[in-house]
Amino acid sequence: MLIDLRSDTFTKPSQGMLEAMFKANVGDDVFGEDPSINKLENECASMFGMEAALFCPSGTMTNQIAIKCHTQPGNEVICEKMSHIYIYEGGGVASNSGCQVKPIEGNRGRIQANQVLEAINAEDIHKPVTALVSVENTANRGGGSCYEMNHLQLIKELCLSHNINFHLDGARLWNALICKNESPKQYGEIFDTISICLSKGLGAPVGSVLLGKIDFIKKARRVRKVFGGGMRQAGYLGAAGLYALENNISRLETDHQHAQKIGIALSKKDFIGEILPIETNMIIFEVKGKFTATSLAELLKQHHILCIPISSTQIRMVTHLDVTPEMVERLLDLINNIN
């Protein structure tokens, strides 16, 4: 039995999801004629109380389309220095949009309004125009940390008063919603655009959705075509996404409980140093003493448990819907027995 804790992207479609995909009603989505995609886009938009939505092959694409539609070449994008858009999207902010990033050092991946205010450039011909603020919730490199709603509201007010757009990279927003007991509509009210992912915690094989105003999504649809992201009978994927929204959101609580249990077991070991506070489905911990991050990951691998050393001293584990309670028990046993 393999226990794959490398990421919540390693889930495979369940039987029920496969059946929904098998029965999907499809058409050519580039022509706007795929009923399953249209349904998925409408459902996502109304869930968040936003006007329109666009299904895309990846979260990288939804983020990159949003950045391109919000900016002009030479503009600046404010984000946290470990943001996915900055460190994990292949330099796309520069190559796709001709923009530069102004990275801010946050607290476990989260930035504050006063930092944003400091980072906004004054009107000055020497300085790039600040066009966009992008935040991540949950914050991946923050160990799945969640924003406080009032902090987001303060950043939103700043964006409004400075005429700057506000984007949410919500690859794991579902986890934040469950953790904080918040509703999608609260986020729809704050952000100009939101990217949500169907293929991480929700367990669909492919797909992210970009949300925004009607005119924005119209423009985004054109950019998606340019980026090569227009797909034909995408409804098979749309059906998986619809199934995921219906069946796999509330169960995220289980993933969070599993992460807590793993964290407690780790905290009792003398070869484990700092464990980032566990808020959702991620455990990022420091390895010390007799193990390095690599040697501990190697030992776990010999026991068919996979995880990722994210730095020379840190390991990341991510729980998800293909990590069963039995698997967690086996992992806990193993951790307890490593001396």
Ligand X SMILES: *Cc1c(COP(=O)(O)O)cnc(C)c1O
User: Which residue is closest to ligand X by CB?
Assistant: 59
Of the pair 58, 153, the CB lying nearest ligand X is at 58
Least distance (Å) from ligand X to the CB of residue 336? Answer: 30
Of the pair 71, 134, the CB lying nearest ligand X is at 134
Least distance (Å) from ligand X to the CB of residue 129? Answer: 25
Residue for token pair 């066009």: 131
**Total number of residues binding ligand X (CB under 6 A)?**
11
Per-residue x/- marks for ligand X, 222-261, CB under 6 A?
Answer: ----------------------------------------
Least distance (Å) from ligand X to the CB of residue 291? Answer: 26
Question: Distance between CA 264 and CA 224 in Å, rounded?
Answer: 44
Does 58 bind ligand X (CB under 6 A)? Our answer is: yes
- Contact criterion met (CB below 8 Å) for 326 and 258: no
What does the angle CA 260 – CA 141 – CA 303 come to, to the nearest 5 degrees?
Answer: 55
Residue for token pair 């069946």: 247
Of the pair 165, 208, the CB lying nearest ligand X is at 208
What does the angle CA 69 – CA 75 – CA 80 come to, to the nearest 5 degrees?
Answer: 90
Least distance (Å) from ligand X to the CB of residue 139? Answer: 7
Strands 193-197 and 76-80: unpaired
Crossing angle of helices 252-267 and 325-337, rounded to 10°: 10
- By CB under 6 A, name the one of 11, 36, 38, 60 that touches ligand X: 60
Listing from the earlier edge strand, what are the strands of the sheet with 272-275? 272-275, 282-287, 314-318, 308-309
Segment interacting with ligand X, rule: CB under 6 A, options 32-40, 53-61, 184-192, 276-284: 53-61
Question: Distance between CA 106 and CA 134 in Å, rounded?
Answer: 13
DSSP 8-state class, residue 256: H
Per-residue x/- marks for ligand X, 189-218, CB under 6 A?
Answer: --------x----------x----------
Q: What is the DSSP string of 105-163?
A: --BTTB--HHHHHHHSPPS-TTSPPEEEEEEESSBTTTTSB---HHHHHHHHHHHHHHT
Does 136 bind ligand X (CB under 6 A)? Our answer is: yes
Does 81 bind ligand X (CB under 6 A)? Our answer is: no
What DSSP element (H or E) covers 68? helix 59-70
Segment interacting with ligand X, rule: CB under 6 A, options 56-64, 70-78, 178-186, 223-231: 56-64
At 110, the amino acid letter reads: R
Per-residue x/- marks for ligand X, 82-121, CB under 6 A?
Answer: --x-------------------------------------
Segment interacting with ligand X, rule: CB under 6 A, options 21-29, 59-67, 68-76, 160-168: 59-67
Binding residues vs ligand X (CB under 6 A): 58-60, 63, 84, 136, 140, 169, 171, 197, 208
